[in-house]
């Protein structure tokens, strides 16, 4: 059995503006850094063996802040953990998309990364984690859109929300017979102090 704590990156200015980020490399804002510090304080209360992160700066910086509290942890970057490619809509708000492409913009070819490609890279990463870290506790820092799809692929029928909170923690046990989600989208660490 391998235990994974999936963590979404801290908040960015684009998150607050409702801009699609996708593969665009947007940094954490000041609040996002504080959120990352809160989740790091939460994770340091437990033993973790290794951390993997998306190479995009908002996730990587969140992972670095967590790793600072876990000095013995092995730190890795994996491109498969990157956010879903948003094609033409990256950097735009909903209103800007409607203004540019009309109300039915979702029905048009916007160049999004294909669903089967997203799931395949997510499950490829998970398979490698299971082989390399059997019986270990792994932290994975990634992105909301990507994580929502991975959760639904790992726990069929789980019907997980696509609304994954910034710095939320989701704990999944990977088992040979059936994966189990112990905790979903938990942000109690943000209640400890004002962010």
The catalytic residues are: 9, 83
Predicted confidence (pLDDT) per residue in 155-181, tens digit? 887 777 778 999 999 999 998 888 999
pLDDT at 184 over 90: yes
Q: Is 113 helix (H, G, I), strand (E, B) or coil?
A: coil
Question: Which tokens is 107 given?
Answer: 């029905």
Phi first, then psi, for residue 91 (nearest 5°) are 90, 0
Pairing between β-strand 74-77 and β-strand 2-8 as defined by DSSP bridges: unpaired
Categorize the per-residue pLDDT at 195 as very low, low, confident or very high, splitting at 50, 70 and 90.
very low
Is the pTM for the entire model greater than 0.85? Answer: yes
* Mean pLDDT of all residues belonging to the chain: 94
Distance between CA atoms of residues 103 and 171, nearest Å: 37
Cα separation values, 65 from 56, 58, 70, 182, 186, Å: 14, 11, 9, 24, 18
Categorize the per-residue pLDDT at 69 as very low, low, confident or very high, splitting at 50, 70 and 90.
very high
pLDDT at 194 over 70: no
Task: Note the pLDDT of residue 147.
Answer: 96
Pairing between β-strand 169-174 and β-strand 2-8 as defined by DSSP bridges: antiparallel
Task: Note the pLDDT of residue 193.
Answer: 56
- The CA angle 118-140-58, to the nearest 5 degrees, is 80
Sheet holding 169-174, edge to edge: 74-77, 50-53, 137-142, 2-8, 169-174, 180-186
pLDDT at 139 over 80: yes
Supply the DSSP symbol for 21: -
Specify whether the CB–CB gap between 141 and 53 falls below 8 A.
yes
Specify whether the CB–CB gap between 167 and 36 falls below 8 A.
yes
């Amino acid at each position: 059995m391998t235990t994974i704590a999936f963590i979404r990156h801290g908040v960015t200015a684009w998150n607050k503006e409702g801009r699609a980020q996708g593969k665009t490399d947007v940094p954490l804002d000041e609040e996002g850094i504080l959120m990352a510090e809160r989740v790091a304080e939460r994770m340091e209360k437990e033993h973790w063996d290794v951390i993997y992160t998306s190479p995009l700066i908002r996730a990587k910086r969140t992972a670095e802040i967590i790793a600072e509290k876990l000095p013995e942890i092995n730190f890795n970057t994996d491109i498969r953990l990157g956010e879903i490619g948003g094609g033409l809509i990256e950097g735009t708000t909903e209103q800007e998309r409607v203004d540019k492409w009309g109300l039915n913009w979702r029905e048009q070819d916007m160049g999004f990364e294909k669903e089967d490609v997203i799931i395949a890279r997510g499950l490829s990463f998970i398979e490698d984690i299971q082989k390399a870290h059997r019986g270990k506790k792994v932290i994975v820092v990634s992105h909301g859109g990507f994580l929502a799809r991975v959760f639904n692929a790992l726990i069929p029928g789980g019907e997980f929300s696509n609304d994954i909170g910034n710095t939320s923690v989701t704990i999944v046990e990977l088992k040979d017979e059936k994966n189990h989600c112990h905790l979903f989208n938990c942000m109690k660490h943000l209640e400890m102090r004002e962010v």
